[in-house]
Amino acid sequence: MTEAPRTIVITGAGRGIGASIARAFAAAGDAVAVVDIDAGLADKTAAELTAAGHRALAVEADVTSATDVDSAITTVERTLGPVGVLVNNAGVAAEGLAGVAGVEESAWDLDFGVNVKGPYLLCRRVLPAMLERGAGMIVNIASVAGIRGRRAGAAYTASKHALIGLTRSITAYYGRSGVRCNAVCPGGVDSGFQAGVAGDEETAQLVAEFRASMPRRGLPEEVASIAVFLASEGASFMNGSAVVADAGWTAP
């Protein structure tokens, strides 16, 4: 049975995994709000979807700003309708792969700002309407770094653990009120995200070791398909789950 079209808000949707998630929901017939701090990237993804005959809206917003988040959701509600699904995808690893001793305070704050505060602000903004309707779905894009203590950067790892904690907390508080909240924990995806993890020779060596230990690299589209599934009625029995997608990389 085909589900009725919904309004989907996806953060960090200007490129990479976020853009793939936007395409997947649009292909399923949903209206998509492409939220990104980079207006040019948001416009590009939204224009691509619109040209393909889908309903899409580009929204520039800094997810760490409560004012931006409120304005963004208000714009989406007025233009596309009530938010049925929120996908918190925006993420950063400002410290690269540095351990605690090598993380600047500014990098720590940025990671927690985008990776944890952002989802908190967005969830806080959309939850009241979801609870009033007795229905709503939230998908948080976490990481295998939020499951295992790999050397994926101290701030990034801690922030993704926190995001999974937020996911489960939302389920505990609102799961019996019609809201479902699940997390996807990808590992080793060719999304362009790793290109932003700059560093020295030691960091490059660590990245090479990570890649050599992976059964294979994932595709953004593979993460997108999981997000779409978690937001579907087919996943109605899943709430508070952290779904690992890494080709078995962290299984041993």
Structural domain boundaries in the chain? 7-244
Confidence of residue 193 (pLDDT cuts 50, 70, 90): low
Does the structure show a pLDDT above 90 at 140?
Answer: yes
- The residue whose two tokens read 């949903």 is 30
Please compute the mean of the pLDDT values over residues 30-57 and round it to a whole number.
Answer: 99
Q: Give the per-residue pLDDT at 198.
A: 52
pLDDT at 194 over 60: no
- 118 or 203: which leads in pLDDT: 118
pLDDT attached to residue 17 = 97
d(CA 57, CA 42): 8
- Kindly state the average pLDDT of the residues 31-48: 99
pLDDT above 90 coverage of the chain, percent? 81
Percent of the residues in the chain that have a pLDDT greater than 70, as a whole number: 93
Instruction: Check if the beta carbon of residue 166 is closer than 8 Å to that of residue 121.
Output: no
Tell me if 14 sits within 8 A of 34, measured CB to CB.
yes
Q: Which residue bears the tokens 């080793």?
A: 188
Give the pLDDT confidence score for residue 174 in this predicted structure. Answer: 99
Per-residue DSSP letter, 148: S
Query: For all residues of the chain together, what is the average pLDDT?
Result: 93
Position 202 pLDDT exceeds 70 = no
Around Cβ 122, how many Cβ atoms within 10 Å?
27
pLDDT, tens digit, for every residue of 51-88? 999 999 999 999 999 999 999 999 999 999 999 999 99
For 7-244, give the CATH class: alpha beta
This prediction's pTM: 0.94
pLDDT computed for residue 1 by the predictor: 38
pLDDT digits (tens, 9 = 90+) for 147-158: 987 788 999 999
pLDDT score of 199? 58
Task: Name which of 140, 198, 172 is nearest 11 in CA terms.
Answer: 140
Q: Tell how strand 179-186 and strand 242-245 pair up.
A: parallel
Contact 7, 78 (CB under 8 A): no
Whole-number Å distance between alpha carbons of 50 and 86: 20
Any idea which residues carry the catalytic annotation?
Answer: 156
The confidence band for 212, taking pLDDT boundaries of 50, 70 and 90, is confident
Q: Which residue has the higher pLDDT, 216 or 221?
A: 221
